[in-house]
Amino acid sequence: TCALPIIEECSSISRQQIVELVASLRSQHIGDRENTELALLLTRLYQALLPLTPNLVLSVRGKQKEKDSCSLAEVSALVKKEAEDMFNIWISSKLSQFSTSLFSLTSTAGSFLTSLPAWDKVTISETGDSGQEINSIISIPPSPSLPLITSLLSLASTIHRSHPSSFPQSLLSPTSINVVQTILSHYSTLSTQTLTQNVALQLLFDLHFTQTLLVSRDTKDQFSTTLSTLLSSLETNIDPFDLSVFSPHLHSRVKKAAARCVSGLGCLVPADRVAIISSYKISTTTTQDSHNILCVEPQPCPRFQLLPLSTASLSKVSAKAALSSAHLQLPLLVGQAAVDAKKTAAGKTDKSPAHQTAASFFGSMPWFGTNS
């Protein structure tokens, strides 16, 4: 009878101490906003607090079962919410650094000279008015602009160092959405300015790359209107004929770039996009992009190559196959097959030159084969 009040009092004290601990850590962290790594450390602490302390769980829930314990449910909800808040503080600082790095891509001439990667040269054939075939060379962007891909890789590397597999999926999905929003916001500013055709082509590539890699099925409706508006705005800076010629080559290189970057940016790529991008069939490397060492090989080399078979080995294999097939014949046909084999061998022997010479020699001797 005395144990029940003690258990209830222990449960109440344990719950109160956890609430005070959370409040104390939050107040200390608010005064040190610059130390974002502390927020990630507190996220780990809240994630492991209950799973790694079973005795604390027993003390909080008291006499009630785990499913029916209101105290345990309250503490679990508090710890989970605090972990999400700390993670959001940490990821917000990283997204701020991502925005700063991305905003280095401006509309000034000097910025674009340092932002554009080396372009691929593609030879296309056209038929002139006289019916003569004309070959021309066009340049196509093969990869995202340097500020975009550098900012994405830097953010992904930071998240990878923090072991994103331990983060709940509900925390990583909003991060990918915030990244897309930041990119679209900056490119909306760039699209309102007067751009050269080459710059517009590169920005067009960047938007298609972002849409292919980072926009999931669930967020497609959220970004479709903004993306369509931005793409239309950028296409106005490109000659319509050139756009019709460049578009097929541009889209194929967008898929190649997405397949190349899906592993490095894996923590930012939605789960449904990983399967789709991995299924892209990359065309065989051609002469115009043979200098690119990052091309995706469509048929990777197996770990162990098959050894070639010699001619003698092939003949042995054929003989074994013939013997195996002979054993599969019906019993009644085995004798007939043997007779046919002897007749065939005899026929081959009769046709040999040595046998014909011997037969003519002994046939010219009248005494050979007679009984005297």
Q: What is the 3-state secondary structure (H, E, C) of 163-179?
A: CHHHCCHHHHHHHHHHH
Its pTM stands at 0.69
Please identify every stretch of the chain with a pLDDT value under 70, giving residue numbers as ranges. Answer: 1-2, 30-34, 66-68, 106-110, 281-372
Instruction: Give the Cα separation of 259 and 184 in Å (integer).
Output: 21
* Residue 154 · residue 98 · CB < 8 Å: yes
Instruction: Give the Cα separation of 90 and 192 in Å (integer).
Output: 33
In this structure, the dihedral spanned by the alpha carbons of residues 242, 244, 248 and 253, taken in order and rounded to 10 degrees, is 40
**What pLDDT is stored for residue 280 in this prediction?**
76
* Residue 255 · residue 209 · CB < 8 Å: no
**What pLDDT is stored for residue 263 in this prediction?**
85
Quickly tell me which residue has 């597999």 as its tokens: 165
Q: Does an H or E element contain 157, and which?
A: helix 146-161
* Residues ≥6 apart with Cβ < 8 Å to 36: 89, 90, 93, 94
**What pLDDT is stored for residue 95 in this prediction?**
92
**What pLDDT is stored for residue 334 in this prediction?**
45
